[in-house]
Amino acid sequence: MSHRIEDYAIIGNMQTAALVAHDGSVDWLCMPRFDSPAVLAGVLGTEEHGVWRLGPAHPKDTPPPAANRRGYDGTSLILVSEWDTEDGAVRVTDFMPPSGGGPQVMRIVEGLRGRVVMRSTLRVRFGYGRFMPRVHQVGDRTQLAFGTDAVWLDTTSPLPSVDDTAEFTVREGQKIGLTLSWQDTSLVAAPRPDPYAALQDTAAFWHTWAQQCTYDGPYSTAVVRSLTTLKALTHAPTGGIVAAPTTSLPEDLGGVRNWDYRYTWLRDAAITISALVAYGYLDEARAWRTWLVRAIGDDIERLQIMYGLGGERDLAERELWWLPGYEKSSPVRIGNAAAGQLQLDVYGEVLDALHQARRAGLEPDARATELQLLLVAHLEQLWAKPDEGIWEVRGPRRHFVHSKVMAWVAFDRAIQLIESGDADGPLERWRELRDTIHREVCEKGYDPVRNTFTQSYGSKELDASLLLIPQVGFLPADDERVVGTIEAIQRELSTPDGFILRYPTEGEDEGVDGLPGDEGAFLLCAFWMVEDLAMIGRTDEAHALFDKLLALRSPLGLLAEEWDPRSKRQVGNFPQAFSHAGLALAARRLMPQVTLSLPGQRSMEPSLTAVPAIP
């Protein structure tokens, strides 16, 4: 497949999501959950690994045409694409209704002018592109099944079909709906879907949700699009939140840094919740808190840093040898071995997210309060150990400074919880331990010669996670050690275009993370830099960097995990919760007096942008 990562749009229903390219090709779709096996996996291979392309017919020896214009319908997750042809113009509206039933991808073709011959090519391949389906015709409905999984193809108008391809003509004013629905084969076939009614319900859902946003500042469009993307990464049935809806989109094009992000990291979910809470969204925080209590349960001793959407613990990592990978970036992996790592920072992120939600008005929950106290009590036994850290290094454990800082955060937030009267705990002991951690970090994690905190005790390397030191309240922003750290990261971890690397890599040699190869600028780290610059009073510089980051977004306002300064492309899994949470939080930092009025009714008309030419 030849699409850039930023050429994709996301549509979703808070159960799963699909990636739709600018030529109308759905190249990634897992059903029925984000972490289920893909039924369309073309983004990690070829069309034979599963695609659903819908667009104007074209000669077989030419590539399918990209849409001339496309965009989301207002603040929704409804994608609208338009093509101009010699014979007319056509619009395709793609969406997934958040109905609570089995997931469905709905596509409505609408003739705008003249007559346009359309082509639909549907190649369902179960098991991440490996298995052909059994095809059954049930009246004018088509079932494609494998084992207990099946998808149904329904159309509102009979379409001719040759193998997996159908061509049909749409005229001005005519509409034709196509729906792909997942269902267990043991169940009776669901009723025929009505995509036109579903479109109205879906639009109402998203626009109502967006109206809850309490921000109405100069970056409103970018903030609301990022928040909508974060909402799309939540799993409504369980309350879990995925880090991204994809696996193995590479951090290094052609390299081995390819990971499965379709799970709920405690850290990523906590940061996502912090961003949503900052703009008035408490329902998502409440649902995640319920998920957290259920997933961890009483098994604090065997806490994992990530879980499946239903709280599953077995996330064994394996390689899918039959998939060549995005632009030959292999191996393609599912599962994630990092689930078994020790990452001390997650305690602080979880406690801080719940702290922020409580401050924003989320009602107390006795089970969640008990869980927080149990987590901090367990951290007492662990905080002094080396760990794999926030970046999940696959090299030796170290005493990462960020991990110790976040351990301090965990104790600090637990102390505040007790001081508020909402919990009982060993207040004096934890205050003393909080002070001990603070002293140790300042003694062992700080390089007085260079006036900067370091990645780990005794090391000379820097790490962008040190930018969180003032944001979490470990030290004030005007502390000379904080300013020195910010300036050192700017000097040593900036890319030529001014963005921020997570930490140094070593090319073909293994670096601190135990992996060969390099990676792009980590977008969340650049948003952290925006916040830090604003906190130390360098607001012009903060705004300039934020504007540069906004310019990296796709035409639809979406961000992957990283930016490759060599190829000038987005890389990594897409869209990435970290990046969009970072954008939302940085925008709030740049707007100290946040307007708390609702932004008002948003237009239901799609705002389409021209699709840039493919280089």
135 and 270 co-located in one domain: no
CATH number of the domain that residue 282 is part of: 1.50.10.10
| pLDDT recorded at residue 462 | 96
Of the residues 176, 207, 238, the one at which a domain ends? 207
Q: Is residue 596 part of a domain?
A: no
Query: Counting beta carbons within 10 angstroms of the beta carbon of residue 163, is it exposed (0 to 12), middle (13 to 18) or buried (19 or more)?
Result: exposed
423 and 536 co-located in one domain: yes
- Report residue 385's pLDDT band, with 50, 70 and 90 as the boundaries: very high
Of the residues 190, 207, 224, the one at which a domain ends? 207
Percentage of the chain beyond pLDDT 90 is: 84
Residue 415 φ/ψ region, left for φ over 0, alpha for ψ in the -120 to 50 degree band, beta for the rest: alpha
Structural domain harbouring 300: 212-589
Q: Is the peptide bond before 575 cis (omega within 30 degrees of 0)?
A: yes
Q: Is residue 615 part of a domain?
A: no
pLDDT in tens, 431-456: 999 999 999 999 999 999 999 999 99
pLDDT in tens, 290-305: 999 999 988 899 999 9
From start to end of 299-457, where are the E strands?
Answer: 306-307, 318-319, 333-334, 446-447, 452-453
The mean-pLDDT minimum among 44-48, 300-304, 583-587, 588-592 falls in 588-592
| pLDDT recorded at residue 190 | 80
In whole angstroms, give the CA distance from residue 211 to residue 194: 26
202 and 236 co-located in one domain: no
| Choice between 518 and 354, residue whose per-residue pLDDT is larger | 354
Q: Which residues of 279-298 are buried (b: 16+ CB within 10 A; e: fewer)?
A: bbbbebbbbbbebbbebbee
Q: What is the DSSP letter of 135?
A: E
| Choice between 594 and 118, residue whose per-residue pLDDT is larger | 118
Q: Give the residue among 596, 480, 601 at the shortest CA–CA distance from 214.
A: 596
Mean pLDDT along residues 99-127? 95
Q: Is residue 597 part of a domain?
A: no
- Count of domains in the chain? 2
Q: Which residues pair with 84 in a beta bridge?
A: 89
194 and 230 co-located in one domain: no
Mean pLDDT along residues 113-127? 96
| pLDDT recorded at residue 610 | 57
158 and 299 co-located in one domain: no
Q: Is residue 135 part of a domain?
A: yes
| pLDDT recorded at residue 160 | 75
Q: Is residue 610 part of a domain?
A: no
Q: Is the peptide bond before 160 cis (omega within 30 degrees of 0)?
A: no
Of the residues 148, 183, 207, the one at which a domain ends? 207
Sign of torsion over alpha carbons 369, 370, 376, 382: negative
Q: Is residue 607 part of a domain?
A: no
148 and 221 co-located in one domain: no
pLDDT in tens, 396-430: 999 999 999 999 999 999 999 999 999 999 999 99
201 and 228 co-located in one domain: no
- Report residue 395's pLDDT band, with 50, 70 and 90 as the boundaries: confident
190 and 234 co-located in one domain: no
How high is the mean pLDDT of the chain?
92
189 and 293 co-located in one domain: no
Q: Is residue 595 part of a domain?
A: no
pTM over 0.75: yes
| pLDDT recorded at residue 56 | 97
pLDDT in tens, 520-570: 899 999 999 999 999 999 999 999 999 999 999 999 999 999 999 999 999
In whole angstroms, give the CA distance from residue 456 to residue 436: 17
In whole angstroms, give the CA distance from residue 204 to residue 364: 31
CATH number of the domain that residue 48 is part of: 2.70.98.50
| pLDDT recorded at residue 465 | 97
Q: Phi/psi at 572 (nearest 5 deg)?
A: 95, 175
196 and 219 co-located in one domain: no
Contact between residue 107 and residue 30 where contact means Cβ atoms under 8 Å apart: no
In whole angstroms, give the CA distance from residue 249 to residue 243: 13
408 and 496 co-located in one domain: yes
From start to end of 69-148, where are the E strands?
Answer: 69-72, 79-84, 88-95, 104-123, 134-138, 141-146
What tokens were used for 488?
Answer: 């050192």
| Choice between 507 and 347, residue whose per-residue pLDDT is larger | 347
From start to end of 124-162, where are the E strands?
Answer: 134-138, 141-146, 149-155
243 and 188 co-located in one domain: no
